[in-house]
Structure 1
Amino acid sequence: MPKSRALPLALSLSLALAFPLGQGALAQAPEAGADQALPAPASADDALRALYTQEWEWRQQEFAREKIDGRWQASSRMAAIAPADWERRARYWKQVLGALDAIDPAALSPQERINAAVFRSMVEADYNSATWRTWEAPFNSDSFFWGYLAPRQPYPREADWQRLFGRLRDVPAHFAQHIANMRQGLARGWSVPRATIDGRDDTIEPYTRTDAGNPFLAALEGMPASIPEPRRSQLQAEGRALVLEQVVPAYAQLLEFMREEYMPQARTTLAASDLPDGRAFYRTQIREYVTRDMDPREIHEIGLREVARIQAEMREVMARAGFEGSFEEFLQYLRTDPKFYARTPRELLATASYIAKKVDGQLKYAFNTLPRYRFTILPVPDDIAPIYTSGRGGLEACLFNTYDLPSRPLYNLPALVVHECAPGHSFQAALALEAPARPEFRQQTYFSGYGEGWGLYTEWLGTQMGIYETPYEEFGRLTFEMWRAARLVIDTGLHEYGWSREQAIEYLAGHTALARHDVTTEVDRYISWPGQALAYYLGYRTILDLRAEAERELGARFDQRGFHDTILNLGSVPLPVLEEEVRGYIAAQKVAPAP
């Protein structure tokens, strides 16, 4: 997903296709793109390279991206998203998958076998999204196509602003296409569940303002001195006119549609299985996010077992903290005692920054390769903070939510920092960006099972790095582990077993020390984003089990630095590929000369 607008790394490219968050271009990419001849057979490696190179170039045109400073970023237009555009894309991806099927995997070199597996998973997810017509519900309780268009940090160059202005000129038509698609979804019963979108319309309101409270106008006011006068004032005037004359009316029309039409007509059911052919759809979502075929009931049982295991560990930590009451009383104590909460947004951000710096001092003991690229720490923007998660990390920044500070316990912050910043998502994204000799599509492909599994694994790794200083912080880590294990139970409970929203909320609230606000936000996310929540724990257990296998097989020769480098040097891959490659590393280490 594009980082130029500070979008969260936790959203995959395939989600960008299903929910295009302002990525690109009402000016339609050339129609010939869907019908161009695919590569003629050559050697298996050559045929595969030609196939994924052509698809990647075609994809950039389709989603209005151009190469800027060596990275694919949003261009000066927005993507065409009418039904015909998605139908054309589906035809092309079907053709690509057919060509991929014709390549014998056994004839590929080891690196190209990895590329083929990554490419297949990526294209299958995109093809499924297009054919299920998920673009008829182009947002969820967590992420919105209207919320990521304004720059979160001012652009330093005039060319960046000019590209933004080009995209803003497309906003009225782009939103009109979204509205038409959503009407079509309502007509066939394919919508975001009504119960999960209360208040989401409020996130549109700031963009209808005509003062500095409008994020676009605020961004223009912050245009930096790197653009000299008088050009800076001219650009600001041009941008203000564009926002007031075209963008604000488009957002006002969208807000009216959401409140008067979409929300009253959105479906009253919750489960993915309640959608047209919903049980089959839910299984494709499991495959997309977990990157393997798993039965929902199998996942549910894994979740129940892990919840019981973690709960026993939480009680042990509660005893270490010296608390003599019940588990429920301990949760209430953690949720209400002021000593566990920041008094100001700056205090929360400062604590997060201290933890991130403490992590920096330990990285050399856990990794051989460290990235050069640096992230910053920022508050979640005000327009989305009331319904946003506690934190989210990506290449450019780690965002921490400072809205409603009594819902942001500091004992959770160490686990949140290592997951979102380093050695979690920001660290992971920087290494992926700087990785050598990898096809372009591999540099910007993201699989939730791998990426979120790594993020949760780094929370556990923090126990080896000395990050958790008190029993309360250790309990916060276990709360986060429980939170992800409980997702296995809740996601499948909702979408396979027909749980109610209240049942899911009570289950999560009763097993974690998460604030009630976070519990409700999270459950709404699971309802409106089926399958995505499963990726974290199943990916985490895959990595932790591989580590246990490496320690068992290598004994004293095990070095966590090499183990971690093997995982991160791969870049984002499906979990079966990760298992195969790590086991290859273990086998090689067994026969390598002793250090």
Structure 2
Amino acid sequence: MSVKLVIAALLSTTLAAATVSATATAQALPPPTAQPGESADDARLKRLFYDSDEASLKRNPIEGIFRGDLRYADRLGDYLTDAYLAAERAAIDHNLAALKTIDRTRLTATDQIAYDVFKTRNETDLAGYAPAILKVQRDLPIDHFNGFQTFYPDLASGKGGAPFKTLVDYENNLKRNAQYAAVLDRAIGRFRQGMSDKIVQPKLVVTNMIQEFDNLIAEGVEGSTFYGPVKTFPATISAADQARLKAAYAKQIRDVITPAHQRMRDFLAKTYLPVARDTVGLSALPGGDAYYTYLIRQSTTLPMTAEQVHQLGLSEVARILKGMEAQKQAVGFKGDLPAFFTFLRTDKQFQPASVDQLRDGYRAIEKRIYQRIPEQFSLTPKTTLEIRPVPAFKEKTEAGGSYQGGTPDGSRPGVFYYNTYDLPSRYMWEMETLFLHEGVPGHHFQISLAQENTALPAFMRFGGNTAYVEGWALYAESLWKELGMETDPYQRMGGLNDEMLRAMRLVVDSGIHAKGWTRDQAIDYMLANSPMARTDATAEVERYIAIPGQALAYKIGQLTIARTKAKAQAALGAKFDPRDFHAQVLDTGSLPMPVLERKIDAWIAAGGGAAK
């Protein structure tokens, strides 16, 4: 796995699979034990999963923190080194070789699914080590979405995934902070190699990164996100230790972290920006076309071409526009669709009057949805959900809503984050569909259920692919009618707008990275086909430029889930129960699309019904 994919896996689910916050326990997952009815091959497969996961946690200790395994919590990992890349590649080779020694036909049905997921994941990761593809990934180590500066400050803030319950927790954080500064310095070295290889970031990505580092630097010492843990302490830490830790944290921010931020900021502004490129698509880079083809596969889990993606997007945009026209007529708006878009963007009635109005509105939506959940879901998580605003230091580049997972044991809640930046553009008509996607029954259900399922191997509990994770969340939006949402035509327009966003992503992402589209061309396309605010359209386009291919997964994953549902409804007729279907989709964690389709086909062939 490349470091960019590791980072993406750790970020909140607006970008991929959601992060999982840490528990207060330092316990590892127990080794697998034999179960009745399992073959020797089942036992060997589970041992392979376990050993692979244990080795991965040593190479990627920060993943353990997010999962609540604190054995290696004093380490960050040797990311952006050649040794790290070599170790990841060796692990993939080992995993695939070991799989070949296991007879899949002798496995239980559940273990056959796990076998297929593990095989697909490793084969996809291996494809990323093709020399031309690896070179591009290596030379573009961070950006304003997939960068350590985008998630690590929150992890170290005292309010993120890392626990601050013991003296050891505070000391471990100091050690990780020092390693974070070292990673930033290594990123500078990778950027310099990219300059030599003529593989550099677009100017707008560099400019956005500079702003991120400026924001972190401007916080000072006691106002720093990194100072957060020592603003409050648990009662178990003595007054003497509290004073010592406050001094140590202040000194580290002043002497280590801020200088590292400043070095990166100065390098980006003075050395890198002058040679950064004016183009924005991958096709402009040596090896860029091959890299984009790989990213399509990695994000969608399907062997699609850029042209196939583009044409699918165009057809979906045309279909959704018809639905938007119907909503325009339902509210009696006089004028064409572009005029209706302008009305939705600018009329004061759709703009929240305060941050409190957003918060209270999302809480009310949550309450209404939960009243209808039993009609659609028999399988629900025990992890609770909190509703919070996006932290100020990253609100400018964050989406309107995002999700961070809770703990596997349910002791720490999942979090739905709503963005208050540029408050007039946080339209009231998009709130219901946004909560369906990021909160309930979207990311919160899917991620929580996976990690709570101790019967799954760790890579299926805590890992995932974007097509499934985001495809499920977009599919969750389509349950608006069943869950009593979007009864108002404007809220329904919000649902169509969010679906349109995912359809436009297919067009715009492939347009940018395979067809030479410019930033402004992509923004204009999105504004012409939706009521999105320019602020959001700009942030979206700059996201696609920074993380190519990732945004393709949403619509393709949703279409796959919807297609399997339609197939099940047609085949099972009156026996079809949405509660059973949703349990089938959710009870084995994140699956590649072909594996999910085979699972649902087998369920249909067995006559449907609840899981046995």
Normalised TM-score (structure 1): 0.89
Q: Which amino acid aligns with 1:48?
A: L
* Cα distance, 1:239 vs structure 2: 1.8
Cα deviation, residue 404, structure 1: 0.6
Distance in 2, matches of 1:69 and 1:55, equals 18
Task: Determine the structure 2 residue equivalent to 1:157.
Answer: 165
**CA positional deviation for 1:67:** 5.4
Contact 1:356 1:422 in 2 (8 A): yes
* Residue 257 of structure 2 is aligned to residue 254 of structure 1: no
Match runs of 1:101-500 below 5 Å: 101-131=100-130, 132-133=134-135, 134-150=137-153, 151-154=156-159, 155-158=163-166, 159-208=168-217, 209-223=219-233, 227=237, 229-395=239-405, 396-500=414-518
8 Å Cα contact 1:394-1:421 kept in structure 2: no
Runs of 4+ in 1 over 6 A off after TM superposition: none
Q: C-alpha displacement at 1:111, in angstroms?
A: 1.9
Check 1:6–1:374 CA distance in 2 against 1; reply closer, same or farther (3 A cut).
farther
CA displacement 1:515-566 (0-9 Å, x = unmatched): 1011011111112211111100011011111111122122222111111111
Which is further off, 270-279 or 540-549?
A: 270-279
Q: Is the 8 A contact 1:370 1:431 kept in 2?
A: yes
Query: Which of 62, 69, 72 pairs up with 1:72?
Result: 69
Structure 1 residues 434 and 196, CA, compared in 2 at 3 Å: closer, same or farther?
same
CA distance in 2, matches of 1:259, 1:210: 20
- Is this contact kept in 1: 2:157–2:228, CA < 8 A? no
Matches of 2:454 and 2:177 in 1, distance apart? 35
The DSSP-based 3-state class of the residue aligned with 1:355 is: helix
- In structure 1, the residue matched to 2:60 is 63
Distance 1:525 1:539, change over 3 A: same
CA distance in 2, matches of 1:429, 1:80: 27
Residue 543 of structure 2: SS of its match in structure 1? Answer: helix
Q: Which moved more, 1:95-104 or 1:163-172?
A: 95-104
Residue identity over aligned pairs, in percent, reads: 31
- Within 2, Cα distance between the matches of 1:7 and 1:492? 23
After TM superposition, the structure 1 stretch with the greater mean CA deviation from structure 2, 561-570 or 203-212, is 203-212
Q: Which amino acid aligns with 2:198?
A: G
Residues 548, 69 of structure 1: alpha-carbon distance in 2 compared, 3 angstrom cutoff: closer
Cα distance in structure 2, aligned partners of 1:225 and 1:425: 34
Task: Tell me: CA distance 1:468–1:89, structure 2 relative to 1, closer, same or farther (3 Å).
Answer: same
Q: What is the letter of the counterpart of residue 63 of structure 1?
A: N
* Aligned equivalents of 2:67, 2:395: Cα separation in 1: 32
Superposed CA offset, 1:207-244 (max 9, x none): 32434432112443244556454443332232222222
- Whether contact under 8 Å (1:216, 1:243) holds in the other structure is yes
Note closer, same or farther for the CA distance 1:248–1:377 as it changes in structure 2 (3 Å cut).
same
> 1:308 & 1:445 partners in 2: Cα distance?
34
**Distance (whole Å) between structure 2 residues aligned to residue 70 and residue 509 of structure 1:** 40
Alpha-carbon distance in 1 for matches of 2:468, 2:121: 13
Partner amino acid, structure 1, of 2:209:
R
Give the 3 Å change call, closer, same or farther, for CA 70–336 of structure 1 in structure 2: closer
Distance 1:438 1:185 in 2: 40
| CA shift in 2, pair 1:340/1:480, >3 Å | same
* Residue of structure 1 equivalent to 2:32: none
Q: Supply the distance in 2 between the matched residues of 1:301 and 1:67 (Cα, whole angstroms).
A: 41
Question: Is 1:52 paired with 2:55?
Answer: no
Bigger shift: residues 91-100 or 525-534: 91-100
Change (3 A) 1:230 1:365: farther
Write the mapping of 1:519-530 to structure 2, written as runs, cut at 5 A.
519-530=537-548
Give the deviation of 1:110 after TM superposition. Answer: 2.0
Instruction: Compute the displacement of 1:482 (Å).
Output: 0.7
Report the alpha carbon displacement of residue 182 of structure 1 after superposing the two structures with TM.
1.8
Q: 1:8 aligns with which of 5, 12, 15?
A: 12
Match of 1:506 in 2: 524
Q: Deviations over 1:3-22 (max 9, x none)?
A: 9x994034457x99xxxx9x
Letter in 2 for 1:205: D
Query: Does the residue aligned with 2:69 lie in a helix, a strand or coil?
Result: strand
Q: Which amino acid aligns with 1:80?
A: D
For 1:223 and 1:376, the matched residues in 2 are separated by 22
Instruction: Confirm or deny: 8 A CA contact 1:273 1:496 kept in the other structure.
Output: yes
Structure 1 residues 570, 92: closer, same or farther in 2, change over 3 A? closer
RMSD (CA atoms): 2.7
Question: What residue number does 1:547 align with?
Answer: 565
- Distance in 2, matches of 1:546 and 1:226, equals 53
Matched-pair contact (CA < 8 Å) for 1:340–1:411: yes
Aligned 8 A contact 2:389 2:418 in 1: yes
Residues 368, 484 of structure 2: 8 Å contact kept = no
For 1:436 and 1:79, the matched residues in 2 are separated by 26
Letter in 1 for 2:230: L
Shift of residue 153 of structure 1?
4.6
Give the partner amino acid of 1:136. D
Does the C-alpha gap of structure 1 residues 264 and 103 become closer, same or farther in structure 2, counting only changes over 3 Å? Answer: farther
Does structure 1 retain, via aligned residues, the 8 Å contact 2:467–2:592?
yes
Greater CA drift, 356-365 or 309-318: 356-365
**CA contact under 8 A between 2:206 and 2:276: conserved in structure 1?**
no
User: Contact 1:10–1:451 (CA<8 Å) still a contact in 2?
Assistant: no
Amino acid at match of 2:150: G
Report how far residue 420 of structure 1 moved: 0.3
CA change 1:186–1:121 in 2 (3 A) is: farther
Could you give the per-residue CA deviations for residues 471-529 of structure 1, whole angstroms, max 9, x where no partner exists? 11100100010110111111111222222222211111111111101101111111221
Higher mean C-alpha displacement, 102-111 vs 157-166: 102-111
Taking the aligned partners of 1:2 and 1:380, their CA distance within structure 2 comes to 22
8 Å CA contact retained: 2:341, 2:530? yes
1:37 is matched with: none
Contact 2:450–2:586, Cα closer than 8 Å, also in 1 = yes
SS of 2:416's equivalent in the other structure is: strand
User: Structure 1 CA distance, aligned partners of 2:581 and 2:520?
Assistant: 42
User: CA contact under 8 A between 2:306 and 2:510: conserved in structure 1?
Assistant: yes
What one-letter code is carried by the residue in structure 2 that aligns with 1:233?
Answer: A
Please report how far the alpha carbon of residue 66 of structure 1 lies from its aligned counterpart in structure 2 after TM superposition: 7.7
Gaps of 5+ in 2: 23-38, 406-413
Amino acid at match of 1:386: K
Greater Cα shift, 288-297 or 103-112: 103-112
